[in-house]
């Protein structure tokens, strides 16, 4: 009975949009079960969107990475000029870039799950029988999903905690930290969608007799 009450409290807290209530509700163990269900549903929706709109599937994560990187480079470049030429420095020039770097890394992690460039061990797996290859790929999907759920739940708690404490980015007056931290759970929802995409491809390849293990190439489409 307590479990369902905790689930109801989480839904009620999100509907209220009160960061204090959300932070308190997410502390319950029910957040893990609900997080797993929401992650699976969210990942499935992401997979459907990627299938329906190939342009988004190909460019969204890469665009976030590129523009984050360009913003970092621009801030650092101007910060150097501002400091050594004009003897001035924006107080946020050393705090915004690390946050943008985290955003870039999180979305990059999702994109490279699709490319299977994260510890794929393809050389080792190609020598395995076909059934063993499929078992390894399914294990990959399970482990990535578990990892994503852990990150989504824990970072959602962090986002709520930051919002409830009104934490601002150091050196700024009104830029909230949770705006950047929110990118973590969002990017891992995308990662679940990528995991489901890969698993669907693996099962299709298994049925059609196509190769299951392919050489991963960083930066490929």
- Kindly report, residue by residue over 25-82, the tens digit of the pLDDT: 888 889 999 999 999 999 999 999 999 999 999 999 999 999 999 999 999 999 888 8
**37 in Cβ contact with 69 (< 8 Å):** no
pTM: 0.89
219 domain residue, yes or no: no
Residue 146 has pLDDT above 90, yes or no: yes
pLDDT (tens digit per residue) in 89-141: 888 888 999 999 999 999 999 998 888 877 667 777 778 888 888 898 999 99
9 domain residue, yes or no: yes
214 domain residue, yes or no: no
Q: What does pLDDT average to over the chain? A: 89
161 domain residue, yes or no: yes
Phi, psi (rounded to 5 degrees) for 52: -75, -30
213 domain residue, yes or no: no
Nearest C-alpha neighbor of 148 from the set 35, 72, 60 = 35
43 domain residue, yes or no: yes
Query: Residue 16 belongs to what domain range?
Result: 3-208
Residue 10 has pLDDT above 90, yes or no: no
Structural domains in the chain (count): 1
Report the alpha-carbon distance of residue 174 to residue 194 in Å, rounded.
34
């Amino acid at each position: 009975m307590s479990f369902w009450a905790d689930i109801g409290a989480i839904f009620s807290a999100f509907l209220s949009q009160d960061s204090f209530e959300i932070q308190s509700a997410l502390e319950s163990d029910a957040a893990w079960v609900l997080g797993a269900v929401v992650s699976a549903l969210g990942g499935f929706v992401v997979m459907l969107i990627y299938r329906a709109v190939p342009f988004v599937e190909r460019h969204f994560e890469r665009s976030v990475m590129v523009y984050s990187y360009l913003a970092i480079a621009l801030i650092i470049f101007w910060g150097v000029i501002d400091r050594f030429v004009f003897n001035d420095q924006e107080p946020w020039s050393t705090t915004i870039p690390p946050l943008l770097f985290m955003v870039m890394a999180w979305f990059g992690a999702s994109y490279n799950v699709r490319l299977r460039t994260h510890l794929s061990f393809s050389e080792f797996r190609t020598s395995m029988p076909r059934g063993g290859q499929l078992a390894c790929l399914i294990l990959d999907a399970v482990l990535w999903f578990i990892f994503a759920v852990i990150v989504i739940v824990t970072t959602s708690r962090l986002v709520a905690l930051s919002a409830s404490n009104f934490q601002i980015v150091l050196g700024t007056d009104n830029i909230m930290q949770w705006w950047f931290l929110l990118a973590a759970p969002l990017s891992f929802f995308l990662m679940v969608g990528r995991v489901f995409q890969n698993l669907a491809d693996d099962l299709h390849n298994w049925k059609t007799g196509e190769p299951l293990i392919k050489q991963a190439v960083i930066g490929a489409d």
